């Protein structure tokens, strides 16, 4: 007796996967509907039955918090359908590391959610959209990924939303988990520790995520600003953000959490006014800490009231802080959310 058919909801929002070259505009522009993208993706019928949900053709760089909450509602509705085994979210890759983490923080249903897209438009003969969509559907309906939260699947790699980072502007294998490594592969190549494969999908899971951050938010603070520290920096940029009405700030410090003394002074003034500040590293991996106690060192930021965020990058820490503030969390609750649960791996 053959196994029952699996079913995936595929939510289309646009992105490079939906674009074609427009000679008049001089570049790629949104062109394809969800139905047209599905028609270009061969082999889906062998993996699962598809329930398409078309939410338009929005470039990822145009997303708003309001729009992300609307997409979250569409994901929740699909997860609530007992006939759906998994959900795929198709979007532009520019901000996948932020949007996937946004939904990862909000969603608590164990039904898999897989975010995917493309680096090459549909006009290019070797575009990667169809294979990425096929892989994403295979992951979404694979029971191994139940309870693993939101994952990102491109170029055959399965990556957790809280660690994945876009490391190259255009490379097909741009998405990497620089702290913990991928959760697995589609097809099994390159996984650590062997992993377990599902014979029907080719999905190999090499490790589990463990505990994750979660926040029950229905809104997000719009004015959480991200400031990157650099050589010879004063505090004027941070002061300007405060003067412009910042709800909170994320400071991407150099190295393990260090800045100039002038930037620390500006940060201390902001925190004295009740504005929360999160300290992270501007490095692509690792985290800020309290190893250095000179003026502007990480220890002095924490003593002044800054919160640490494990190995979350600046953009991810901004998402967590914005949602935490939107949920009305106090300082201690914000610090707990940003720090992450004990036992959450490198991000905890």
Q: Which residues are catalytic?
A: 16
Sign of CA pseudo-dihedral 68, 69, 71, 76: positive
What token pair was written down for 149? 């939260």
Query: Coil, strand, or helix at residue 75?
Result: helix
Across 212-330, the runs of DSSP E, i.e. the strands, are 224-228, 248-253, 277-281, 307-308
Specify whether the CB–CB gap between 102 and 218 falls below 8 A: no
Helix 314-326 vs helix 96-106: crossing angle, to nearest 10: 40
Residue (of 219, 230, 234, 229) closest to 249 by Cα position: 229
Q: What is the DSSP string of 103-140?
A: HHHH----S-EEEE--SS-TTSTT-SHHHHHHHHHHHH
Q: List the beta bridge partners of residue 308.
A: 279
Strand order in the sheet with 307-308: 224-228, 248-253, 277-281, 307-308
By DSSP bridging, strand 157-160 and strand 49-54 are unpaired
Which residue do the tokens 């994945």 mark? 164
């Amino acid at each position: 007796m053959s196994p029952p058919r699996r079913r995936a909801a595929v939510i289309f929002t646009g992105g490079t996967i939906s674009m074609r070259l427009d000679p008049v505009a001089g570049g790629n522009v949104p062109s394809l509907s969800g139905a047209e993208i599905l028609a270009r993706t061969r082999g889906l019928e062998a993996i699962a039955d598809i329930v398409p949900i078309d939410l338009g053709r929005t470039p990822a760089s145009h997303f708003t918090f309001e729009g992300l909450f609307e997409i979250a509602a569409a994901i929740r509705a699909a997860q609530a359908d007992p006939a759906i085994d998994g959900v795929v979210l198709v979007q532009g890759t520019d901000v996948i590391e932020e949007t996937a983490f946004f939904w990862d923080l909000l969603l608590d249903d164990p039904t898999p959610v897989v975010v995917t897209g493309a680096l090459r438009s549909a006009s290019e003969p070797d575009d990667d959209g169809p294979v990425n969509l096929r892989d994403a559907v295979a992951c979404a309906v694979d029971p191994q990924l139940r309870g693993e939260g939101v994952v990102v699947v491109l170029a055959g790699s399965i990556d957790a939303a809280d660690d994945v980072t876009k490391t190259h502007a255009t490379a097909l294998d741009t998405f990497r988990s620089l702290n913990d490594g991928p959760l697995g592969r589609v097809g099994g190549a390159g996984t650590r520790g062997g992993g377990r494969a599902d014979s029907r999908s080719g999905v190999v899971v090499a490790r589990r995520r463990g505990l994750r951050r979660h926040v029950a938010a229905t809104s997000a603070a719009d004015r959480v600003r991200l400031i990157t520290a650099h050589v010879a920096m004063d505090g004027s940029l941070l002061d300007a953000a405060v003067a412009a009405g910042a709800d909170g700030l994320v400071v991407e410090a150099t190295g393990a959490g260090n800045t100039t003394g002038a930037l620390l002074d500006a940060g201390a003034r902001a925190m004295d006014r009740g504005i929360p500040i999160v300290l992270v590293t501007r490095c692509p991996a690792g985290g800020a800490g309290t190893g250095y106690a000179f003026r502007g060192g990480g220890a002095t930021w924490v003593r002044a009231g800054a919160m640490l965020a494990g190995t979350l990058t600046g953009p991810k820490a901004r998402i967590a802080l914005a949602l935490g503030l939107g949920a009305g969390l106090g300082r201690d609750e914000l610090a707990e959310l940003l720090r992450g649960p004990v036992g959450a791996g490198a991000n905890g």
